[in-house]
Structure 1
């Protein structure tokens, strides 16, 4: 640790090759699942707000073209996370709802943790959108413990 700022931890040893490989592997996995989690979380939000999620609403909220959404919805349907009904919209399967709730919870914990550190709510909301997908279970539990200790 540095004497000037005791809250910053200095790395003690270089990262060994095996740890580095695992770190990159985990990052690649997180990037692949990030879009899936964002979509199911958004679909859950739209269903909660209006009873269904329509492709046009998903595209508008994500700021992407409808063909992009259509391609992802096919993937989510193939993975068993959603069901598409003609002229009705998109609905989550039980597995999709579970993933959405897990993602929403992780997002809430990360956002609350950032706010507890003094980050503005606006910045915490934006930053947590990316961080939530890359936080390990161990780190998330540490965030929860910190929040419980601080009464947040």
Structure 2
């Protein structure tokens, strides 16, 4: 057995580790990540655009926007635009990086629909595991021959 001495339920691991930046819930992370994505074009987004992108109703998006504004991740005035604060920009950038890293890793593994799996994994992965995945991806980028060998190996034998 590898050095772990105590086992927990899924919820127990969540209670015993600090995995979320600034104690965001998974839902808050999803909203902040999408706001960051949408704001890249114009520096802001709007409630209807956000709600459409996340496939939620505008009142639900408005409630979450208010929670994020109360936590100093964004600035929002009712019926106006949504802008990220410097804190929101920093966390949003991290969330996008984490998501993109997981998508790249899943593509490397040959997973067909990377979006759903990345969304599920990103809320639970530790910083150490994410760093290890980043290192693996960097290794394959720096050593294309090894990547080619891996891709040949993982292809189904016909």
Quickly name the TM-score band, shorter chain normalised: 0.7 to 0.9
Indicate conservation of the 8 Å contact 2:47/2:58, yes or no: yes
Indicate conservation of the 8 Å contact 1:40/1:100, yes or no: yes
Determine the structure 1 residue equivalent to 2:118.
128
Matched residue count: 137
1:37 paired to 2:14: no
Pick closer, same or farther for the CA change 1:67–1:29 going to 2, 3 Å: farther
Pick closer, same or farther for the CA change 1:139–1:59 going to 2, 3 Å: same
Indicate conservation of the 8 Å contact 1:43/1:53, yes or no: yes
- In the TM superposition, residue 87 of structure 1 has moved relative to its aligned partner by 4.6
Determine the structure 2 residue equivalent to 1:85.
77
Q: Deviations over 1:31-86 (max 9, x none)?
A: 95211111111111111134421111111111111111111111111100010135
Unaligned runs of 5+ in 2: 142-146, 148-158
Normalising to structure 1: TM-score of the pair? 0.78
Normalising to structure 2: TM-score of the pair? 0.75
SS at match of 1:91: strand
Q: Deviations over 1:84-142 (max 9, x none)?
A: 1355311000000111000000001111111111113xx11221112111110110011
Structure 2: how far apart are the matches of 1:32 and 1:43?
A: 14
Pick closer, same or farther for the CA change 1:95–1:28 going to 2, 3 Å: closer
1:76 paired to 2:68: yes
**Which of 106, 119, 132 is the matching residue for 1:114?**
106
Pick closer, same or farther for the CA change 1:28–1:36 going to 2, 3 Å: same
**Which of 122, 142, 151 is the matching residue for 2:132?**
142
